[in-house]
Chain A
Amino acid sequence: MNSYKPLFRKDIWTFKNYILEIKNDKKRLIIYLLYIFWIGSILISGFSKLNKNKSDMSVSIGSEYIAALITFIGIFILMYNLYKGLNESSTFFSMGDVNVLFQSPISSKKILLYHMIKQSIINFFIYGIVILALLPTLGDLVNIEVRYLGFMYLGYISFLLLIEPLKFLMFTLITKYKIESFLSKMIYSLLGLIIVYIIYHLVKAEDLLKGIIKAMNAYYINYIPIIGWAKSAFMTAIYGYSSWSLIALILQFTLLALLVFISYNTANDYYEDVLSATNKRELRKKRKKGLKKRKNFFLFTKKGKVNVKSKRKGPWAFMWRAKVYYKRTDIHPYFSILTIFSLIVGLTVGYFTRNTEGIIPMYIANGVIAYIMFLMSSVYVSNHELTKPYIYLIPGTYIEKIIAMNLVDIIRMTVNAFMLNIALGLTIKASLVTIISLGLFLTSFYILTVFANFLVRIIFPNTIDHKTLFPLFFMLQILLMLIPGAIIGGIVATLTNALGFFIGVTVTNFIIVAILILLSSNIFERLEWK
């Protein structure tokens, strides 16, 4: 019998069951319909913007920024995944596969090939949603040539499709040839090289922004596999077509095919490698859901006993638990590796912008960080407490419990926010009022993302909903979180000055936070533990 047939049939059944389930659940059906409607509206608005003419000046600056940004993001994602690939294989499997499929008399190579291809096809469409959502913004910044939209999409997707097979292959080679230390040295050297490269350009340009853009847009980057090839294809829709665009794209997909082919031929005994990766992924899903627990620096992990005094009882046990966790995995319950990082960023930005007039760099730095925080908030939340029954069992009011659960994280982030602003403010000689207001601004933003996320997760605990509906939640979050602050901040700013904007946003944020906490506590009273 053909070995691929059972696999294929199984997936057809799974798909059918998903459809049936969504069809029978009115609430979800409505959400999904809304979602489709939303994608449709984005498509229309995106395409209508693409053809409008913009001034040449703004377009060339915009495309430079975009090119630099995608290079930077590409490098970041790649390096992060290479680093992770040292310790953990990637997985295309579920626990069902591990328990049922792996022991069956189907060749492990065929199983791998089938799942790699299946995952690639799924990702090909799923990841498209992100770029779709970004299309209107891109269209605002630059002229996008519609006929080369395909290049843009394929360039972007080829990069993402390459990541998992790359990680998988890397781990296979590590276990097969015991080359972990060699590879980790390679990766760290590569990272070092990149940092030196960026610093070189920074020093040469004597300007933060110009330096980074120069470094990221050097022409030879286009010839680097995975990142450069993807970038060349992606930028075709903005810069226009050249024969290199096509070659880069072909190279990129050839590389993908090659990786899959090599994996197919080297991986015959990979079950153990994917076991722990699969296990972890499913655990994460169960942990309500898609929440990755923030990984801390292994350098600081302490085994055995750590001492944390607990003064208050009841709900504050949550706080004690969080402190123990951080004390074990980080420098200090309240000071993290990020604190040092904030200090460095503050000093660096301050140093390179010390000649700029006024305190604009501070506004920009805080704005950018707040924006990144907002983007990351849907992915990274350290709240694993929600899956455990203790929030229902421990005596105390829900408001107290919700605050106690998040307080340590909030304090940690407050320390970082102030560290950054103090370091930056002192180097560029900003006033104390500015430093304090901006520190509070950043903190309020963090608290807002924490509680907004908290709320979303208790209302929609389902994994699959979460993954597929992510853009919808995202839009809702923008509506509810960013807009009120922006409006009030804008009003205050016109009445006073630019700093007024940040103060206005801060105050609004805290008001929304209070509302969110009340709402969460109200929902908890009606919720059951699942």
Chain B
Amino acid sequence: MLKVNNLNKMFKKTMAVNGISFTLNKGDVVGLLGPNGAGKSTTMKMIAGLLRKDYGDIEMDGINNNLLKAKSKFTYIPEVPELYEMLTVKEHLHFIADAYDIDNWEEKATKLFKRYDLYDKQDKLAKELSKGMKQKVSICCGLLPEPELYLFDEPMIGLDPKAIRETKLIFKELSDQGKTIFVSTHLLDSIENLCHRVLVMKNGRIIADGDVKSLKNKLSNGKGSLEELFLEVTKDE
């Protein structure tokens, strides 16, 4: 589904992403871990086409990610939920429906609103929403087009427990439908029983790649929590 090859990104003097390569298969739910500043968001933004790649290739089903055809294959939920301040919640989804040419959008939107407790806030302007509510709208915008690939950059931040559970459930459902999910997060316990595979980044490189169990086996013979594993992999030499 997604093929990333030797990706590089430099910001002035920081090497934010340093030659990473990986492939996500259809139906994979893959977690992207790493300490602050590891390069997770930069990677996500490059895949979404918001940042230029200095070097390397990104392909979705064999199509270069910057081509228009690739754009309808994925959605990206950004790290910070900045919306159109002067549009209502419902108008956001209407706009997405227009842009992605979605049929039946109202029915789908209503379902999402109900799941995320936004049903009675549909006519509120985005600038009147709390931070968590904005995050929910941002997630709904990403879910509405029902693409093949979902890029989530720290989706759980600021969500209430119910919305977190709902998001996890949605991940499960999507993966059962054969959709691919690439999610960066700091919440390790949510990864454990959700992701088939984790990539760990540090200083712009991928330093571990595999399913949770085999990573555990390799490092500590299957004992210990994911947290210990994470600290072990990312500790400074």
Contacts and interface: CB of A to CB of B under 8 A. Distances in A.
Contacts of A101: 99
Interface string B76-93: 101011111111100110
A97 to B, nearest CB: 8
A18 B51 contact: no
A107 B48 CA distance: 14
B52 interface: yes
Interface stretch (A70-78, A269-277, A332-340): A269-277
Interface in A1-33: 1, 5-6, 9-10, 13-14, 17-18, 21
A14 B83 CA distance: 12
B82 A105 contact: no
B125 interface: yes
Contact of A102 (B50, B95, B101): B50
Contact of A269 (B52, B68, B80): B52
Given A103-B76, A105-B72, A271-B50, A13 B98 contact: no
A104 interface: yes
Interface residues of B, number: 36
Contact of B49 (A14, A95, A271): A271
B86 A99 contact: no
Interface string B103-130: 0000000000000000000000110000
B5 interface: no
B85 A96 contact: yes
A98 interface: yes
A60 interface: no
Interface in B6-28: none
B196 interface: no
B87 A17 contact: yes
A427 interface: no
| Interface residue SS majority, chain B | mixed
A14 B138 contact: no
| Interface residue SS majority, chain A | helix
B206 to A, nearest CB: 23
B44 to A, nearest CB: 11
A5 B98 contact: yes
A100 interface: yes
Contact of B87 (A13, A98, A104, A106): A13
B49 A10 contact: no
Contacts of A184: none
A99 B126 CA distance: 14
Nearest to B9: A272
Contacts of A106: 71, 99
A104 B84 contact: no
Given A13-B91, A17-B87, A104 B100 contact: yes
A348 interface: no
A1 B98 CA distance: 8
Nearest to B137: A100
B141 interface: yes
Given A271-B50, A272-B52, A9 B95 contact: yes
B75 A103 contact: yes
A382 interface: no
Contacts of B72: 105
Nearest to B141: A100
B96 interface: yes
B99 A104 contact: yes
6 closest A-B pairs (Cβ-Cβ)?
A6-B98, A96-B84, A95-B82, A105-B71, A105-B72, A104-B99
Interface of B: 48-52, 66, 68-69, 71-72, 74-76, 78, 80-88, 91-92, 94-96, 98-101, 125-126, 138, 141
Given A1-B98, A18-B86, A99-B83, 12 more contacts: A17-B125, A99-B81, A100-B83, A100-B95, A100-B141, A101-B99, A105-B68, A105-B100, A271-B50, A271-B51, A271-B52, A272-B50
